[in-house]
Amino acid sequence: MIQVAINGYGTIGKRVADAVREQPDMEVRGVAKTRPNFEAETAVDKGFPLYAAVEERADRFEEAGLEIAGPVEDLVDAADVVVDATPSGIGAENKSMYEEYDTPALYQGGEDADLVDTSFNARSNFEDATGADHVRVVSCNTTGLSRVIAPLREAYGVEKVRATLVRRGGDPGQTSRGPINDILPNPVTIPSHHGPDVETIFDDLDIDTLGMKVPATLMHMHSLNVTLEEEVDASEVRDLFADESRLFQIPERMDIDGSGKLKEYALDAGRPRGDVWENCIWEESVSTVGNDLYLFQGIHQESDVVPENVDAIRAVLGEADAEESIQTTNETMGIGL
């Protein structure tokens, strides 16, 4: 069994821990947190050994009645791989610790691409991570773009991608975030960081991205225009997407008109935390005009990178190829709406 450490048990870390627990070939060796809170209590209730990320603050857990298994260094030492899901920039600070204990590490999209040997998206470049010591699972938006671009490149060739990303201002639990009543060009400079980030997955891709932030917490929304290298009928593209396990095309009959109903559907379908691991593409929006393809897709920022982290664990350890890993992850998590 692959022993997995999770350092940083917030929005992404707690979801990765739950997904790892479902895998037939993996075990959660433990999770590390900086301070006691409701998430620490839940981790203990779930039976995850809890480690102190900051040794000087370990006493706080004891005071809160939470037993600590040891400092994070012990966890990193004992694990075969560590998933770093700490806030942006902290992963870079943790890198030397992972090197000291010779434990391969996965980082999240908030870290810089040059921190790692390779950036990762399971559908697009799984093999690049094999044997790597430092791998970055790209951000929710980059994951969402890569999953659509990979099959289009393989089937038709892509001349140019233009994407406008309407980004949620914060996650539901991020009470300190905004905007509260505004629409921000964000970043105001063009391209946004997403285009160059997608190029860490496809280094020869021509892509421009524009970002905005809006007062919403449920999901991001992408408006996508892909200039293909050939003229393709929209129905062919829909068929291509239908074969992609992490793309969900929302059928017209479902009457899902936005992120709110998508989340409601996920909850009704019994998804943990109402998570939507797939890109949600409005089927009616998939349109072609000459070589240009257009579509709208919803991206659930809190969860689409979770199966990617699970696959990246197998990739770095050389434990499976892309197809095997994606299939196992999909089956165990219940991916495929």
Ligand X SMILES: O=C(OP(=O)(O)O)[C@H](O)COP(=O)(O)O
User: Where in 284-323 is the site for ligand X (CB under 6 A)?
Assistant: 301
Q: Does residue number 139 form part of the binding site for ligand X (CB under 6 A)?
A: yes
Q: Where are the alpha helices (DSSP H) in 157-188?
A: none
Binding window for ligand X (CB under 6 A); candidates: 73-81, 133-141, 201-209, 263-271: 133-141
Asked whether position 141 contacts ligand X by CB under 6 A, the answer is: yes
Whether the bond into 251 is cis, omega within 30 of 0 = no
Alpha-carbon distance values, 137 to 16, 101, 175, 196 (Å): 12, 21, 25, 15
Among 113, 140, 166, 228, indicate the residue that binds ligand X (CB under 6 A).
Answer: 140
Residue 191 interacts, among ligand NAI, ligand X, none and using kind-specific CB cut-offs from 5 to 8 Å, with none
50 binds, among ligand NAI, ligand X, none (CB under 5 to 8 A by kind): none
Question: Distances in Å between the alpha carbon of 189 and those of 24, 110, 161, 184, 247?
Answer: 45, 19, 18, 12, 30
Region of 61-69, 128-136, 138-146, 261-269 interacting with ligand X (CB under 6 A): 138-146
Residue 119 or 139: the one with the smaller Cβ distance to ligand X is: 139
Min separation Cβ 89 and ligand X, Å: 11
Residues that bind ligand NAI (CB under 6 A): 7-13, 32-34, 53, 85-88, 90, 108-111, 139-140, 171, 301-302, 305
- Please identify which residue in the block is written with the tokens 């044997």: 131
Residue 86 or 119: which CB sits closer to ligand NAI?
Answer: 86
Q: Which two tokens stand for residue 256?
A: 């899902």
Q: Give the bridge partners for 288, in sequence order.
A: 293
H or E segment to which residue 289 belongs? strand 287-289
Say if residue 151 is preceded by a cis peptide, omega within 30 of 0. no
- Whose CA is closest to 285, among 321, 238, 253? 238
Residue 330 sits in the site that holds ligand X (CB under 6 A):
no
Buried-state track 306-333, b at ≥16 Cβ within 10 A, e below 16 = bbbbbbbbbbbbebbebeebbebbbebb
Cβ within 8 Å of residue 322, ≥6 positions away:
122, 123, 126, 127, 311, 315
Catalytic residues: 140
**How far lies 21's CA from each of 6, 31, 168, 247, 275, in Å?**
12, 12, 29, 24, 16
Q: Choose among ligand NAI, ligand X, none what residue 298 binds, the Cβ cut-off being 5 to 8 Å by kind.
A: none
Question: What's the closest the beta carbon of residue 282 comes to ligand X, in angstroms?
Answer: 20
CB of 7 to ligand NAI, least distance (A): 5
Q: How many angstroms separate the Cα of 93 from the Cα of each of 3, 57, 258, 264? A: 22, 18, 38, 38
Q: Which amino acid is at 242?
A: A
- One character per residue 36-65, x = contact with ligand X (rule: CB under 6 A): ------------------------------
What x-and-dash track marks residues 92-111 binding ligand X by CB under 6 A? -----------------x--
Residues annotated within the binding site are 11-12, 110, 139-141, 168, 194-195, 301
Residue number, nearest CB to ligand NAI = 10
Instruction: Give 232 or 306: the residue with its C-beta nearer to ligand NAI.
Output: 306
Binding piece for ligand X, criterion CB under 6 A, among 139-147, 235-243, 290-298, 318-326: 139-147
Q: How far is the CB of 126 from ligand NAI (least distance, A)?
A: 19
Q: Which residues bind ligand X (CB under 6 A)?
A: 109, 139-141, 167, 194, 301
